[in-house]
Structure 1
Amino acid sequence: MSESPSAATLAAAAEAIAAPAPPADPRMAAAMTGMGVSWRAQQMPEQMAIISANGNRTYAALNARANQVVRALRARGMGVGDSLALICTNRPEFVETWAACARAGFRLTPVNWHLTAEEAGYIVDDCEAKAVVADARLGDQARGAAEMAPRATVRLAAGGAIPGFESYDDAVGVESGEDIDDPTLGSSMLYTSGTTGRPKGVHRPAAQTAATATINLFGYADDGTDVELCTGPLYHAAPLSFSLAIPLNFGATVVLMDGWSAEETLRLVQEHKVTHMHMVPTMFHRMLALPDDVRAKYDLSSLKHILHGAAPCPVPVKQALIEWLGPIVVEYYAATEGVGSFVDSATWLSKPGTVGKPFGPDQVRIGDEDGNPLPANDIGLVYIKAPEATRFEYFKDKDKTASSFRGEYFTLGDVGYLDEDGYLFLTDRTANLIISGGVNIYPAEVDAVLLTHPAVGDAATIGIPNPEWGEEVKAVVEVKAGLTPSPELAAELIAFCRERLSSYKCPKSVDFIDALPRQDNGKIYKRVLRDRYREEAAR
């Protein structure tokens, strides 16, 4: 088992993020010009960089292909600062295009391919893409999206044909794979998930993003022996950084999953001797739900680090995972807009539920709506520090950017507190807050209790309209496979909560659902549930 991030390592990360500068180390200097893959290709050309169901790439092959993509795009009019939208599953062409944008000075926007054509088209148009690179498996979405983006005149289809698109292989294959002689660090602009409205492009300084990828937070051996399993779609900020950019910067092999399932994850860990993974709590829950005999038949001893974030993890779920796999779990608190904290297993076990101690002085603080600091253990909005030189901005939305900041700090609308030792605990998001009779109720606390009931597969607690109290607490529950919902089970769940929570926090009613509405990364779309019930109440 490797060590978790030390205080010194986290301090170095904080410094790099706050004041990024090209390091003296030639490997790091290469990363800061977008040529990190090139440096690796020189050092370990035959080392496997990418393994996937759609093909593999050595570092040499990946680097050559990235140079070819740059030249193909330049030949079609792309220049430094131009935007490229990437609508692509986890396949090698995604990585090639990402590496090309990083060295050509392009602004890359990976697009959520679970969206409808209209939703994807909004992003492709809003990011002002001049080029679209798309996976032929997503041809309908890609074609529809491109038609909504008149600037996107360069259109390349990978893995097959899309009407109105050029062949990616044909366009790229005729170009030279030699390193370009004028690398310019590119940037990325990812879009927020849109759980509280229209997705927004989040643009961060390129140097800051590149500097973050040069910090070895998670114990990579840096010798080609590590293997990263990419469990989530690369259009998300976390997999793009933690499962691709950082491991490739440290010479790891990245195994791309084409789709996630619990047992397939275990099989791939055994087959490829995976050392590192990034996951979300829903994945933990589903792996733990596998029968004991299924879990026991796979050798998972190669695992050194499991990184997780993206959504709150119920304490019992994480405790069970650590008991199974050992103290190799590292949690972070972050979003597309920035990073706040990390916590290793040993520290978390001493403070169950914490998302860690902020990794820089005053990096996180708790404040009221106006940003005024609150004392230890007082619940308020969570603010993350973002100095002027490194702060993000919402693309073409100065008002939203301004409303997110209070001086040097921004908030994502998360609610929590810092304890007397400076450890951060999250309670929920302001958008999920239930106000019943003037009292604040945080649904995540109720969800965590429900998930410990043996009949509950997953749960979402929401507020629904109540004429007397304003809102009342409702739990919407998926039961575990093989079980049948019933009024008796609903009553049992309410009683279960009453034994563990103050009565005012407990559900007044429980509804059962076959499948909770979710984002593809496992987060539950509580807004969809709330809207559904509010529409019914308004009829």
Structure 2
Amino acid sequence: MREHFEAFSRQAANHVPLSPLSFLERTASVFPDRIAVIYNDRQLTWSDVQERVRRLASSLMSRGVGQGHTVSVLAANTPELFELHYAVPLAGAVLNTINIRLEAETVAYILDHSDARLIIADTAFSGVVSEAFTINGKNIPVIDIDDPDGPGGQRIGEADYSELIEEGDPAFAWRGPEDEWQALALNYTSGTSGRPKGVVYHHRGAYLMAMGTPIAWELPRHPVYLYTVPMFHCNGWCHAWTMTLMAGTIVCIRQVTGKAVFDLIDKLGITHLGGAPIVLSMLVNTPEADRKPLGGPVRIMTAGAPPPAAVLAATKALGFEVMQVYGLTETYGHVVQCLWREEWEGLSANEQAELQSWQGVGFPMTETVDVIDRETADPVPWDGETQGEIVIRSNTVMKGYYKNADATADAFSGGAFKSGDAAVRHPNGYVQIRDRLKDVIISGGENISSVEVEGVLHRHPDVALAAVVALPDEKWGEVPCAFIELKDGASTTEESLIEFCRQHMAGFKRPKKIVFTELPKTATGKIQKFVLRDDARTLSEYTS
């Protein structure tokens, strides 16, 4: 009878709120002496990390940090930022990692909007913090991170990070959240239009993301992971928690260069790393003298923008195994993967690279991923041609936007999270992004995918990076305009690239203008198309 099945209540014995904090306790207990973190000459075991995190959490609480308080952090990928992914939520607080490349005005806005109770900042960014205080009139307590391997900087805090550890209680009792829906982290979007929005993560979502990633990426126990993904971005794709779960070794790197990555792979036996497609391009374009042969398989997870097939093929030729994933800040990072299929084995390298550039299917913890017609909300046909918007339902979708009920309601209207990405769905069910909806170029009534045009341009041997945006046009309304960053030592002409495009795409899709420049990028390597759109508008005004 129904009443007998519903007679049970949740109890401490059979219901524990899910939280990634539990991974640290388990790993430190089972593998206390394994190396957890390496940063230049510094090494910490999992037992070391556990004790330091407990000390930090107790010190934060002694300074008045507690349930629901925001702790903001400006730090590079150093052990301190990794530890704070545990210490801050262990104190019951919410971790707000801030993009270290933001200007003071935006940092001032984030500190004010997030209701930051405390700031922990690398001294390299103390100038930005001080200027942000001047702008917003705040006087929030600061804790300095003085990294001896960093560029230095003025100390502006009331204490140093190392002092918090010294003052803390090593026997501080571990405790998880009372409710797995409790806020864990607050991440701000890039703010490409208007003010950045604060995306709130909960413990349950972070736990499930960390549990789902090893299955999707087929992670072995004890991976050696190079943290090339900025930990301020979607909490480093939640890999801080994932690698703890797998009892891996996390290798921190402050400045990512091709030479540094190859050196660390050779020296430490790196098995995994992640990054935007620009990281792939960086590896491909690393001078031969700075490369080292791979001693074994090195698997790369790439996301942030659809990677050109040509770049994927070139990366594979170096010996790297690349998996394309897709997600957003609002989804804790990656929730869709291009899962390799056995029937692709016999295809050519170029055909495989093209298929690998698709975004694919949902991660194991992703409930549903669909592509829908924006007018009718019906799923689009699986024909690889009909374009719609990607929508997602998952436990790894944000709680909502901090202090922005209207934006939250709009994002969730229709019962799924609306991504803002235009895509098609192929007959095998795989999703392929065509563009951000705002990046689709409408020329003479025809939709042109900037991603498609960029893919062709990346096949040119002189092109390192390409970004295509709309150029206002009196006759056609809009036409494609390509901004090109050339490889070191390469040279070509606008006429030559346009001719190259003429050979590989329909005439209406060809760029009508090409600009050679260094492309503006975010700290995570995404190309800032909003800057290029402004440049194109200016260019149109100048030439009209």
Structure 1 and Structure 2 fold alike (TM over 0.5) = yes
Structure 2 counterpart of 1:214, one-letter code: M
Distance 1:182 1:366, change over 3 A: closer
Instruction: Name 2:381's counterpart in structure 1.
Output: 375
Q: Which amino acid in 2 is paired with 1:438? A: G
Contact kept, 8 Å, 2:380 with 2:388, in 1: the verdict is no
In structure 2, the residue matched to 1:200 is 197
Q: Given residue 270 of structure 1, which amino acid in structure 2 is its aligned partner?
A: D
Match of 1:6 in 2: none
Task: Please name the residue that 1:10 is paired with.
Answer: none
**CA–CA distance in 2 between the matches of 1:421 and 1:389?**
24
SS at match of 1:142: helix
Instruction: Tell which deviates more after alignment, 279-288 or 447-456.
Output: 279-288
Instruction: Note the C-alpha offset of 1:35.
Output: 3.5
The alignment covers a number of residue pairs equal to 507
Q: Residue 199 of structure 2 contacts residue 399 of structure 2 at CA under 8 Å; is this kept in 1?
A: yes
| 1:532 partnered with 2:541 | no
Cα distance in 2 for residues equivalent to 1:84 and 1:322: 40
Tell me the distance in 2 between the aligned counterparts of 1:466 and 1:22. Answer: 66
Matched, 1:342 2:337: yes
Q: Does 1:99 align with 2:86?
A: yes
* Distance in 1 of aligned mates of 2:255 and 2:386: 38
* Partner in structure 1 of residue 347 of structure 2: none
Q: Residues 387, 449 of structure 1: CA spacing in aligned structure 2 closer, same or farther, 3 A cutoff?
A: closer
Return 5+ residue gaps in structure 1 as ranges.
Answer: 1-20
Relative to structure 1, the CA distance from residue 145 to residue 383 in structure 2 (aligned partners, 3 Å threshold; closer, same or farther) is: same
- What is the CA–CA distance in structure 2 between the aligned matches of 1:331 and 1:25, rounded to whole Å? 38
Cα distance in 1 for residues equivalent to 2:156 and 2:262:
38
Q: Which of the numbers 48, 52, 56 marks the counterpart of 1:69?
A: 56
Letter in 1 for 2:485: E
Alignment correspondent of 2:297: 303
Offset at 1:43? 1.9
Query: Retained in 2: the 8 A contact 1:189–1:201?
Result: yes
- Deviation of 1:30 after TM superposition, in Å, equals 9.8
Task: Quote the residue 1:52 is aligned against.
Answer: 39
Structure 1 CA distance for aligned equivalents of residues 274 and 395 of structure 2:
30
Instruction: Confirm whether residue 510 of structure 1 aligns to residue 514 of structure 2.
Output: yes
Separation of aligned partners in 1, 2:90 and 2:445 = 54
CA shift for structure 1 position 227 = 0.6
Q: Does 1:493 align with 2:497?
A: yes
Q: Choose which of 200, 206, 210 in structure 2 pairs with 1:209.
A: 206
Question: Would the aligned equivalents of 1:394 and 1:400 in 2 still touch at CA under 8 Å?
Answer: yes
Q: Deviations over 1:415-461 (max 9, x none)?
A: 11111111111111111111111211111111111111112121111
Counterpart of 2:436 in structure 1 is 429
The alignment status of 1:180 with 2:156, answered yes or no, reads: no
SS at match of 2:479: strand
Q: Identify which of 111, 119, 126 aligns with 1:124.
A: 111
Secondary structure in 2 aligned to 1:283?
helix
Does the alignment pair 1:289 with 2:315? no
1:299 Cα shift? Answer: 3.5
The answer to whether the 8 Å contact 1:308/1:331 transfers is yes
The aligned counterpart of 1:366 is 371
Matches of 2:64 and 2:56 in 1, distance apart? 13
TM-superposed CA distance for 1:75, in Å, is 1.1
Per the alignment, residue 232 of structure 1 pairs with 229
Secondary structure of 1:354 counterpart: coil
CA RMSD of aligned residues (A): 2.8
Q: Secondary structure at the match of 2:117?
A: strand
8 A contact 2:338–2:356 mirrored in 1: no
CA contact (8 A) 2:204 2:395 kept: no
- How many angstroms apart in 2 are the aligned matches of 1:284 and 1:163? 37
Equivalent residue for 2:311, pick from 317, 322, 332: 317
**Percent of paired sites with the same residue:** 26
Measure how far apart 1:334 and its partner are: 0.9
In 2: Cα distance, 1:22 partner to 1:299 partner: 55
- Kept after mapping to 2: 8 A contact 1:366/1:382: yes
SS of match in other structure, 1:93: helix
1:294, CA displacement in angstroms? 4.3
Do the aligned partners of 2:188 and 2:198 also contact (CA within 8 Å) in 1? yes
* Cα deviation 1:20-43 (Å, max 9, x = unaligned): x999999xx797262322322222
| From 113, 118, 140, the counterpart of 2:100 | 113
* Separation in 2, partners of 1:70, 1:346: 45
Q: Label 1:533 to 1:385 Cα distance change in 2 as closer, same or farther (>3 A).
A: closer
Distance change in 2, residues 1:227/1:24 (3 Å) = farther
Q: Matched residues in 2 for 1:219 and 1:33: separation?
A: 19
AA matched with 1:104: A
1:54 and 1:86 map into 2 onto residues whose CA distance is: 24
- Equivalent position amino acid for 1:221 in 2: P
Tell me the equivalent position of 2:472: 465
1:274 paired with 2:274, answer no
Task: Tell me, yes or no, if the aligned pair for 1:517 and 1:524 is still in contact at 8 Å.
Answer: yes
Cα 1:390–1:334 shift into 2, 3 Å: closer
1:374 & 1:414 partners in 2: Cα distance? 14
SS of 2:65 mapped into structure 1:
coil
1:220 correspondence with 2:219: yes
Return closer, same or farther for 1:112/1:499 CA change in 2, 3 Å cut-off: same
Question: Which amino acid counterpart does residue 343 of structure 1 have in structure 2?
Answer: C
Q: Distance in 2 between matches of 1:65 and 1:400?
A: 38
